[in-house]
């Protein structure tokens, strides 16, 4: 059914119908509701290209994908796609070969100036993030997945990284562990800084001095988790517990512990942050993995919802969501070996 035919059936002009379906404020709520109901009843769907010409919108949300963290990124995108189903809005992903600020700025600038996206989602923010300043200056709606300490107003959605790692570390301390290693995310990112603070605060609360040799930073991969854990386990005295930044990191830690002839959950405890991957579940690892838990897919769905609210006119400084994180205890954490307690 074409627009003219649909408008004729309603006894309205094509312009009025088009504006009603596009949410223009000059169309009364009663008319908008009637048009929407009749569109559903008659099975009318507007031509998306025509709608974009009328509204001036591209009908897409932009995101930039780096070389690392592809598992987390793909789950986030799936969550976005599930929320945007039926919204006539696409997701435009721009790849980035190298994770350098210069390259990122060029990509974000190109996304905005090309007119191909109506809004952008920024991942892995830094405390003073140049991307946030750029997007604010360019006047494009954007949502930050994470938080930044910049004074530039911005909408954000984040999890309580500080609280999650503090609880995880405190649990290991309760079990008698004193040399607790942490494999954190990349240095300089806000989430890594928050996790570092949670770790340090937990130690300080128990009067345990922070040992910088027990903390390492890097991308969340199985290989890096293995290499970092192997190196940490070569220390004397060795750490008796690990806080791993992700499920992929935990896989590497498990391999490293076993390569040393140790048993996870008995000789060495492991606790990780679980982004809830359908193909890698904490409860199915052997032994089952204790973890702080927050779904990256759910975050993607909520991020898409918040972007739609931004596009609908909600002010950016009203959108600040901090999600709590669960702590789920399983078999990978146990009492510290007797000789390691003090």
Q: Residue ranges per domain, the chain?
A: 3-46, 58-159+297-323, 161-294+326-340
Residue 286 CA to residue 331 CA, distance in Å, equals 8
CATH topology identical between 3-46 and 58-159+297-323? no
Q: Measuring CA to CA, which residue among 194, 229, 202, 198 is closest to residue 214?
A: 229
Residue 297 CA to residue 169 CA, distance in Å, equals 25
Count of residues in the chain:
342
Residue 119 CA to residue 108 CA, distance in Å, equals 11
CATH classification (class only), 58-159+297-323? alpha beta
CA distances from 125 to 121, 182, 186, 269, 322 (A): 11, 21, 11, 30, 15
Residue 147 CA to residue 321 CA, distance in Å, equals 10
Q: Which two tokens stand for residue 118?
A: 């109506």
Residue 152 CA to residue 132 CA, distance in Å, equals 7
Residue 88 CB contacts under 8 Å (≥ 6 apart), including other chains: 48, 51, 59
Question: pTM to 2 decimals?
Answer: 0.83
CATH classification (class only), 3-46? mainly alpha
In this structure, the number of other CB atoms found within 10 A of the CB of residue 284 comes to 8
Residue 103 CA to residue 109 CA, distance in Å, equals 10
Q: Which two tokens stand for residue 270?
A: 């492991």
CATH classification (class only), 161-294+326-340? alpha beta
Residue 163 CA to residue 322 CA, distance in Å, equals 11
Contact 288, 332 (CB under 8 A): yes
Q: Which residue has the tokens 């790692």?
A: 165
Per-residue pLDDT of the chain (342 residues; tens, 9 = 90+): 788 888 888 999 988 887 787 666 678 888 988 988 888 888 777 665 555 555 567 889 999 987 666 778 899 999 999 999 878 789 999 888 655 556 789 899 999 998 899 999 999 999 999 999 999 999 999 999 999 999 999 999 999 999 999 999 999 999 999 999 999 999 999 999 999 999 999 999 999 999 999 999 999 999 999 999 999 999 999 999 999 999 999 999 999 999 999 999 999 999 999 999 888 999 999 999 999 999 999 999 999 999 999 998 999 999 999 999 999 999 999 999 987 765
């Amino acid at each position: 059914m074409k627009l003219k035919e649909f408008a004729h059936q309603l006894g309205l002009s094509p312009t009025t119908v088009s504006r009603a379906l596009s949410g223009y404020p000059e169309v009364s709520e009663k008319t908008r509701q009637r048009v929407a109901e009749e569109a559903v009843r008659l099975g009318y769907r507007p031509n998306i290209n025509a709608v974009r010409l009328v509204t001036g919108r591209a009908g897409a949300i932009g995101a930039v994908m780096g070389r690392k963290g592809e598992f987390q990124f793909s789950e986030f995108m799936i969550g976005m796609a599930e929320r945007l189903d039926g919204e006539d809005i696409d997701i435009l992903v721009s790849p980035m070969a190298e994770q350098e600020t210069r390259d990122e700025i060029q990509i974000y600038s190109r996304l905005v100036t090309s007119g191909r996206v109506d809004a952008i989602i920024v991942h892995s923010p830094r405390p003073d993030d140049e991307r946030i300043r750029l997007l604010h200056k360019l006047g494009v709606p954007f949502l930050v997945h994470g938080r930044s300490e910049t004074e530039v107003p911005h909408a954000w959605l984040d999890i309580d990284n500080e609280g999650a790692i503090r609880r995880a570390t405190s649990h290991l301390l309760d079990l008698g562990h004193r040399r607790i290693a942490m494999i954190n995310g990349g240095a300089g990112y806000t989430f890594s800084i928050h996790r570092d603070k949670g770790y340090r605060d937990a130690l300080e609360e128990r009067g345990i001095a922070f040992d910088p040799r027990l903390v390492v930073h890097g991308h969340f991969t199985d290989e890096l988790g293995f290499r970092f854990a192997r190196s940490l386990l070569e220390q004397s005295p060795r750490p008796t517990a690990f806080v791993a930044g992700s499920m992929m990191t935990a896989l590497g830690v498990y391999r490293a512990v076993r390569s040393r002839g140790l048993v996870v959950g008995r000789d060495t405890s492991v606790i990780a942050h679980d982004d809830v991957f359908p193909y890698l579940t904490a409860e199915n690892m052997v032994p089952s993995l204790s973890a702080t838990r927050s779904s990256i897919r759910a975050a993607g769905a909520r991020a898409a919802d918040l972007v739609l609210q931004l596009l609908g006119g909600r002010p950016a400084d009203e959108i600040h969501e901090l999600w709590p994180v669960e702590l789920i205890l399983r078999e990978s954490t146990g009492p510290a070996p007797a000789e390691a307690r003090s």
